[in-house]
Each structure stands twice: as C-alpha cells, then as structure tokens.
C-alpha cells in the first residue's frame, strides 16, 4: 500500500501509538505505524538475553492502575497474573521496606524508640494510611520531627539528588511532598487496586494488540527521514498527506531542535548475568545512599520465569540526556520546569499549525505518564479523532 492509502499514520509503537493504531484499525480504517527502533513495544519492550532470561530492555515496568476500563482493555490482548510490587532499600546496611513503613521502623530503631514513634503517629494521624515526609519534618512534636528528618535524609534525599542530578538543597518542595511514609505494615510499593503483569510479557501483549489486517508496521524507520512540514501542510515521501498523523516521539527532535533541546534525565542501564538461582531477596532493591546506581532489579521476580541456573539483574545509573549521551541512551524523564515548559509550548504551538498532527504520549507531551495514563490518553485522543472524522467504531 502507498502511504496515501492509509487513513492514519501513527509514529511510535509504544503504548500511546499501539493503542491509537488498534482503535483506528478496529473502526475499519487502515493504519500505518512507523517506528524507528527495530522492534515494537516502546519502553515496555521485553526480550530474552543471552542466558535465556526475559528482561525489560528499557528498565523494569510494572502495571498498576485504578482505572478498570484500561485494565479491561488490556485484557483483550493478554492474560495477566496478580503481581503486587514490593521494594526494599539498603539503609544503614539493613534492608528495609520502601516506602518507609512500620516494619522499616522496627528494623532500624530500637524497640522503645519504635514503639514511641508508632504510638505518637497513631495518635496524631488516626485512620490515615499514608502521609508526606514533609508533614513529619514540620511537625511540632520533637520525636516525630526527628523521625521525619531521619526518613528524609536516609531514604529520600540522596536518592532523589542522584536521580535528578541536583544537590539535595535544590530539590523542589513539591517533589519532597510526594514522598510517602506509610502509617502501618502495608509494604506494597503501589496502593492501586489493580496490580498485574502480562503472563507472556509486554512484547507478546503488543504483538496481539497490533495483530490486525488493518495495521501495517514499518520498523527501523525514523519519521524525520520521510516527513516534511511546510506552511501547515505535511508531506510524506514528498507527497502531501492530509489524514491524521499521531505522533508519539519527542517534539524537539521532530522540529529539528529549532527552539533548543528539551532536557530529560536518562539512565545508563547496566545488565549483569550471574550463574546463580537468585541474586537478591527481592525484585527491586533501592540504594539511596552509598552506591552510584539507584536500584537493582532482578527480572525473574517480575516475570516469574523459572530457571535455577542463572539470573540477570539491572543496575540503573542516572545520567543527563543530551547530545553526547543521546547516542547510547534514551530520553526518559522530562524535566518539567517553567523554562522547559516554555520551550515545549513553542514546539507544541508550531505543530498545532498542522491540523492533521496530533501529539500524544510521554515524549510528545513532555510529561511523565505511567502506562495506564498513556493508554487512557491514547484511547481518549483516538475517540476524539474518530468522532471528528465520523469513523464508526465497529464491534470488537
């Protein structure tokens, strides 16, 4: 098929692009997906490494949501198993649950201190499950204040400074405000109602999602090599293309960085293979303080893969994403501040002049989205486009 025969073109085969493509395909329209990588799945891509261990190539991804519609939608493409994620962290050479909870308190404080802190917390915050560390730090009660400062310094400050590459003193209060302390023994990392993983992994889920006679996929193709934007018109392979183009890549790259680069934090992902059954006692161990990496993930815990001879782990070293590191890394975490949002809006405003271009996703919207939100946004956008175009949704 020629490009112009497609009713829509979707750039990027991560969740934002794949969901959009599937929705349009289900309405009986033909879609072309253009993906610059050699595989589908975006950041959620999983594959088997040289030892046959299933890994998440772009960092560990755990599905969790309170949105039942999103989960119902995903269940069309995969079977899922219940997986409640737990994280432990190395604090003062002990391994304790993260977010910090009563069990962490019991491990790190002596019995008398721990009992006093728990008693005061339950008096001050009856029936409250979770509070911000800032609330504790600003408390008038000396014991609670000191406890808050302990959690802030040992669990949060260095981890965040490492992750964002800034001194602790420059960390925005709103970020600190989001750091929870759990008032109880619930040691789950997320408290969403729905916490599941796809049985055969995310790549298989994507394959099923994109399995449609109405979807064609072109891999190893950077849209920048074939698209031209001129005076409000889009040209693909030198022919004007008037149907919707759903773009899920980075807007600064799309417009050749004409307003400057949008800064991102990224990760240097270091995989290590071991000839042992288990490397660590939990799927994820955080290292807030001494080490240069922030966390170690052992994939077998996430994927439930059974093999007792070897295991693969991933160490994450935070880095800046820039011209130099771009060759080896990917833009991961948008750094949202006033200046960067001003730059982003210049790109967005310019792209809005092209009324067949739609931006959706973590990169195109320069905003960190968990998978469920990315899926929800892609579903909403496509239903808007379909309504506008009067494309009927066929029964699925």
Contacting positions for ligand FAD (CB under 6 A): 11-17, 34-37, 42-43, 59, 61-62, 222-224, 248-249, 253, 267, 332, 361-363, 369-372, 374
Minimum distance from CB of 135 to ligand FAD (Å)? 26
Query: Based on CB atoms, which residue is closest to ligand FAD, 90 or 377?
Result: 377
Minimum distance from CB of 261 to ligand FAD (Å)? 14
Minimum distance from CB of 31 to ligand FAD (Å)? 14
Query: Based on CB atoms, which residue is closest to ligand FAD, 143 or 208?
Result: 208
Query: Based on CB atoms, which residue is closest to ligand FAD, 132 or 370?
Result: 370
Backbone conformation region of residue 149, classed left if phi is above 0, alpha if psi is from -120 to 50, else beta: alpha
Q: Is 82 exposed, middle or buried (0-12, 13-18, 19+ CB in 10 A)?
A: exposed
Query: Based on CB atoms, which residue is closest to ligand FAD, 107 or 255?
Result: 255
> How far is residue 78's CA from residue 16's CA, in Å, rounded to a whole number?
17
Query: Based on CB atoms, which residue is closest to ligand FAD, 62 or 210?
Result: 62
Partners of 363 in the β-ladder: none
Query: Based on CB atoms, which residue is closest to ligand FAD, 29 or 85?
Result: 85
Q: Which of 225, 245, 247 is nearest to 234 (CA)?
A: 245
Angle among Cα 17, 19, 23 to the nearest 5 degrees reads 115
Q: Is 382 exposed, middle or buried (0-12, 13-18, 19+ CB in 10 A)?
A: buried
Query: Based on CB atoms, which residue is closest to ligand FAD, 222 or 340?
Result: 222
Query: Based on CB atoms, which residue is closest to ligand FAD, 12 or 263?
Result: 12
Minimum distance from CB of 125 to ligand FAD (Å)? 28
Query: Based on CB atoms, which residue is closest to ligand FAD, 15 or 150?
Result: 15
> How far is residue 244's CA from residue 224's CA, in Å, rounded to a whole number?
17
Instruction: Give whole-number Cα distances, 89 to 58, 100, 269, 295, 304, in Å.
Output: 22, 9, 19, 8, 21
Minimum distance from CB of 117 to ligand FAD (Å)? 31
Q: Which of 147, 105, 10, 85 is nearest to 370 (CA)?
A: 85
Dihedral (Cα; 110, 292, 48, 39), 10-degree rounding: 130
Structure tokens at 20: 């959009």
Do the beta carbons of residue 181 and residue 101 sit within 8 Å? yes
Within 8 A by CB and 6+ apart from 224, the residues are: 253, 254, 256
Minimum distance from CB of 251 to ligand FAD (Å)? 10
Minimum distance from CB of 338 to ligand FAD (Å)? 23
Within 8 A by CB and 6+ apart from 35, the residues are: 11, 12, 13, 17, 217, 218, 219, 220, 221
Minimum distance from CB of 267 to ligand FAD (Å)? 6
Minimum distance from CB of 364 to ligand FAD (Å)? 7
């Amino acid at each position: 098929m020629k490009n112009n025969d497609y009713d829509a073109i979707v750039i990027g085969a991560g969740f934002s692009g794949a969901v959009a493509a599937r929705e349009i395909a289900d309405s009986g329209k033909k879609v072309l997906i253009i993906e610059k990588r050699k595989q589908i799945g975006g950041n959620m891509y999983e594959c088997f490494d040289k030892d046959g261990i299933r890994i998440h190539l772009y960092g560990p991804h755990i599905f969790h949501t309170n949105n039942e519609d999103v989960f119902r939608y995903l269940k069309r493409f995969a079977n899922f198993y219940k997986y409640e994620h737990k994280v432990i962290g190395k604090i003062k050479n002990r391994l304790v649950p993260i977010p910090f909870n009563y069990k962490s308190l019991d491990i790190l404080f002596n019995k008398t201190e721990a009992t006093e802190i728990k008693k005061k917390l339950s008096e001050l915050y009856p029936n409250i499950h979770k509070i911000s560390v800032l609330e504790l730090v600003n408390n008038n009660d000396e014991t609670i204040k000191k406890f808050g400062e302990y959690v802030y310094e040992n669990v949060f400050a260095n981890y965040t400074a490492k992750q964002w590459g800034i001194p602790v003193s420059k960390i925005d209060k709103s970020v600190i405000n989001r750091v929870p302390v759990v008032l109880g023994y619930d040691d789950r990392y997320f408290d969403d109602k729905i916490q599941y993983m796809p049985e055969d992994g995310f790549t298989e889920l994507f394959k099923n999602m994109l399995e449609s006679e109405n979807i064609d996929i072109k891999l190893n193709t950077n849209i920048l090599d074939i698209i031209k934007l001129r005076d409000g018109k889009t040209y693909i392979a030198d022919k004007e293309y008037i149907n919707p183009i759903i773009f899920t890549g980075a807007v600064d790259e799309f417009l050749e960085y004409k307003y400057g680069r949008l800064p991102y934090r990224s990760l240097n992902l270091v995989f290590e293979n071991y000839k042992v059954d288990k490397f660590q006692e939990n799927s994820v161990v955080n290292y807030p303080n001494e080490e240069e990496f922030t966390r170690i993930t052992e994939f077998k815990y996430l994927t439930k893969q059974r093999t007792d001879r070897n295991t693969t782990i991933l160490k994450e070293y935070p880095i800046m994403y820039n011209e130099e590191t771009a060759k080896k890394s990917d833009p991961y975490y948008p750094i949202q501040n006033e200046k960067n949002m001003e730059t982003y809006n210049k790109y967005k405003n310019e792209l809005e002049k092209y009324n067949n271009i739609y931006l959706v996703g973590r990169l195109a919207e320069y905003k960190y989205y968990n998978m469920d939100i990315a899926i929800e946004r892609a579903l909403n956008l496509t239903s808007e486009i379909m309504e506008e175009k009067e494309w009927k949704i066929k029964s699925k």
